[in-house]
Structure 1
Amino acid sequence: MRNDERFEIQRAFDLLPHVVGSSWAVVWFRMKGIKKPTREEYREKTLEFLKKMEPVFDSYPKEAEFLDIMKYIEFRKNEEYEKIKSGENKEVETRYNRYVDYG
């Protein structure tokens, strides 16, 4: 698979963890009145909301021409989940810092 064929999926996985996962997590913590969640709690909640996107990740048909992109989506999904869990997703960590500092 060529890089240009993966470009849109790459961009989506660059943005979805913090735009969807962290944004929804922040709102959840605010509504619950939790001003200082632990990093682990924040990461878990971010991951919980990002996982709600899985139907989209699995939405391409199970046809031959989609197999390569589906494999790539599965790879990137798992990679992003691990980055969130381990604290290696810089944008998610920045959102956490901002939330606990400014609420």
Structure 2
Amino acid sequence: MRNDERFEIQRAFDLLPHVVGASWTAVWFRMNGIKKPTREEFREKTLEYLQLVEPVFGSYPNNKEFEEIIKYIEFRKNEEYSKIKSGENKEIETRYDRYVDYG
């Protein structure tokens, strides 16, 4: 698969974790009056919200034309989930720091 064929999916996975996951997470903690969640709590809630968009990840038809992009989507999904859990997604960590500093 050429890079240009997966460009849009790459951009989506670059943005979804913090735009959907961390943004909804920050609002959830704020609305519940939790000013200082642990990093682990923030990461877990981020994953919870990101996983709500999983139906989109599986929305392409399961046929030969989409086989490579479906494999790539699964790879990137697992990679992003792993980065969030381990604290390797720097944007999520930045969002956490911002939340606990400014709540």
TM-score, normalization by structure 2: 0.99
Paired residues, what number?
103
Partner of 1:58 in structure 2? Answer: 58
TM-score, normalization by structure 1: 0.99
Q: Give 2:6's aligned amino acid.
A: R
Task: Note the 1:59-98 alignment, pairs <5 A.
Answer: 59-98=59-98
Secondary structure, aligned partner of 1:62: coil
Secondary structure, aligned partner of 2:94: helix
Task: Note the 1:1-103 alignment, pairs <5 A.
Answer: 1-103=1-103
Q: Provide Cα deviations, 1:43-101, integer angstroms capped at 9, x if missing partner.
A: 00000000001000000011110010000000000000000000000000000000000
Q: Give 1:7's aligned amino acid.
A: F
Tell me how far apart the structure 2 counterparts of residues 53 and 77 of structure 1 sit (CA, whole Å): 11
Percent identity of paired positions between Structure 1 and Structure 2: 82
Tell me how far apart the structure 2 counterparts of residues 58 and 34 of structure 1 sit (CA, whole Å): 33
Secondary structure, aligned partner of 2:35: coil
Q: Give 2:62's aligned amino acid.
A: K
CA RMSD, Structure 1 to Structure 2 (Å):
0.3
Unaligned runs of 5+ in 1: none
